[in-house]
Amino acid sequence: MTGTSLHTGGQVTLTLHPAPENFGIKFRRTDIEDKPFIPALVDKVLKVERATTLAEGGVKVQTVEHVLSALSAMGVDNAIVEMDANEPPIVDGSALPFVELIKAAGIEQQKAARSIYEIREPIFQETRDGTILHIVPDKTFRISCTNVGPNGRNTQFYSTEVTPELFEKEIAPARTFVYYEDVAPLAEKGLIKGGTLEAAVVIRGDTLLSKHPLRFNEEFARHKILDIIGDLSLTGKRLLGHVIAIRPGHGPNTELARSIVKQYNEMRSMVPAPVNIPLGDAVLDCEEVQKILPHRYPFLMVDRIVGFEGETKCTGIKCVSINEPYFQGHFPGHPIMPGVLQLEAMAQVASVLLLRMPGNEGKIGYFLSANAVKWRKPVRPGDVLVIETEVLKTKRNIGQAIGRCSVNGQIVSEAELMFSLIDR
């Protein structure tokens, strides 16, 4: 795609390239020697005046939110955004041209599981100028936005779940906008050199200045949602949560992204140091595990769920203590965790996956079979048992999974499991 940049007013060619698994989204400046990369991550944010600017060393890219919004909402996890200048083309002021570019290239499914972060605790942010940004737990990614103009003018509200289909139809076409009284100050700062009525809607009192009519009644609120999606993609993860925004802007948006990354890192710090687990969902502590599983003392064999990979893989931990009741008889003076309880631990972690699937809430899992069971090393008090499971197949009320337990990176047991799920 070739066009004019909004703020610099220069000509730029932008090309989207595929990238390998776990690469993320990175910008590449081909007009600079060595063609440096800039990762699309919140810790690379340089400034947020009327646009989001990223920098790595002395190299920067600005106004990245529209292309990031399109990539994120359309389900692209790994890509190189190559530009021969420091700013993407503004095109018509929306993200729709980037959506069309992505669809023209096509999207390839890769083998690595997508990393998703589910918001577990609400995050609240308010600023002195009246901006409010909250994100609360939700099983989808949803944004509800209220745009409020100067003196309360042009107040609009829109709420939507963010999916590729809804984004393309309801959000991507929404164009950028500016208030007439802000045009002169922005121009004095050397910004909006490429701004035209083809690429933006100018609001002057109750009058709209544009080459084209509004695309939606709530076009301004929808465009704010577009910006929020792009700015929150700088977390580097897919999100499950409900964003509630009033008077949002790039500054508050990126600060919310920082807070989400901070919460994620705090949740990850709950994982014991020796445990090497895949990146994934938030931690489920023992209270949350007990909301899913029916097991209780002394037969709850999962202390915490510490990672999910997509919808089919799950990792839990069990901290083995000398206070476990089975050590009184197995074996006194030489305590070893019974292998059958390791098998039970695998079954419980697999059940967390199965019982979280749509339609299985409130059910209970019963063992049908355990095959290819192997115990390789003894598990002793003080060990941290890492329990990894993968659901291979589900059909009606039957689930098949594989599981393995490890201690300090060494496999201690493994098995193939089959369950029947029934109503309690």
3-state SS, residue 424: coil
Do 6 and 118 share a domain, yes or no?
Answer: yes
* 275 inside domain: no
Provide the b/e sequence for 172-210 (b: ≥16 CB within 10 Å): bbbbbbbeeeebeebeeeebbebbbeebbbbbeeeeeeb
Q: Write out the two tokens for 266.
A: 């705090």
Cα 277 → chain centroid: 18
Do 160 and 204 share a domain, yes or no?
Answer: yes
Tell me if 292 sits within 8 A of 339, measured CB to CB: no
* 273 inside domain: no
Do 312 and 240 share a domain, yes or no?
Answer: no
Residue written as tokens 């139809």? 169
3-state SS, residue 265: helix
pLDDT for the residue 180: 83
Cβ–Cβ contacts within 10 Å for residue 287, how many? Answer: 7
Select from 172, 231, 253 the least CA-distant residue to 25.
Answer: 231
* 230 inside domain: yes
pLDDT for the residue 397: 86
309 CB-near residues (< 8 Å, 6+ apart): 113, 115, 278, 279, 280
Do 103 and 231 share a domain, yes or no?
Answer: yes
* 349 inside domain: yes
Low-confidence ranges of the chain (pLDDT < 70): 191-192, 269-282
Residue written as tokens 């949602």? 225
Angle between helices 219-232 and 250-268 (to 10 degrees): 40
CA 186 to CA 180: how far, in whole Å?
A: 10
CATH number (domain holding residue 259): 3.30.1700.10
CATH number (domain holding residue 399): 3.10.129.10
Cα 256 → chain centroid: 13
* 330 inside domain: yes
Name the region of 130 (left: φ>0; alpha: ψ -120 to 50; beta: rest).
left
Q: Is the dihedral of CA 323, 329, 331, 333 positive or negative?
A: positive
Domain that holds residue 381: 286-423
Q: Please return the burial class of 278, using the count of CB atoms within 10 Å of its CB with bins 0-12, 13-18 and 19+.
A: middle
* 253 inside domain: yes
Do 388 and 251 share a domain, yes or no?
Answer: no
Q: Which of 200, 234, 266 is the last residue of a domain?
A: 266
Beta bridge partners of 159: 144
Cα 137 → chain centroid: 13
Residue written as tokens 């701004």? 195
Tell me if 305 sits within 8 A of 284, measured CB to CB: yes
Do 191 and 292 share a domain, yes or no?
Answer: no
pLDDT for the residue 162: 98
Do 231 and 335 share a domain, yes or no?
Answer: no
pLDDT for the residue 42: 97
* 274 inside domain: no
Do 184 and 44 share a domain, yes or no?
Answer: yes
Do 121 and 229 share a domain, yes or no?
Answer: yes
3-state SS, residue 366: strand
pLDDT for the residue 281: 55
pLDDT for the residue 283: 79
Name the region of 235 (left: φ>0; alpha: ψ -120 to 50; beta: rest).
alpha
Angle between helices 96-105 and 65-73 (to 10 degrees): 50
Number of separate domains in the chain:
2
Beta bridge partners of 201: 177
Report, as residue numbers or ranges, the catalytic residues: 250, 330
Do 128 and 254 share a domain, yes or no?
Answer: yes
Tell me if 143 sits within 8 A of 152, measured CB to CB: no
260 CB-near residues (< 8 Å, 6+ apart): 117, 119, 123, 135, 232, 235, 239
Do 133 and 258 share a domain, yes or no?
Answer: yes
pLDDT for the residue 100: 97
Do 65 and 204 share a domain, yes or no?
Answer: yes
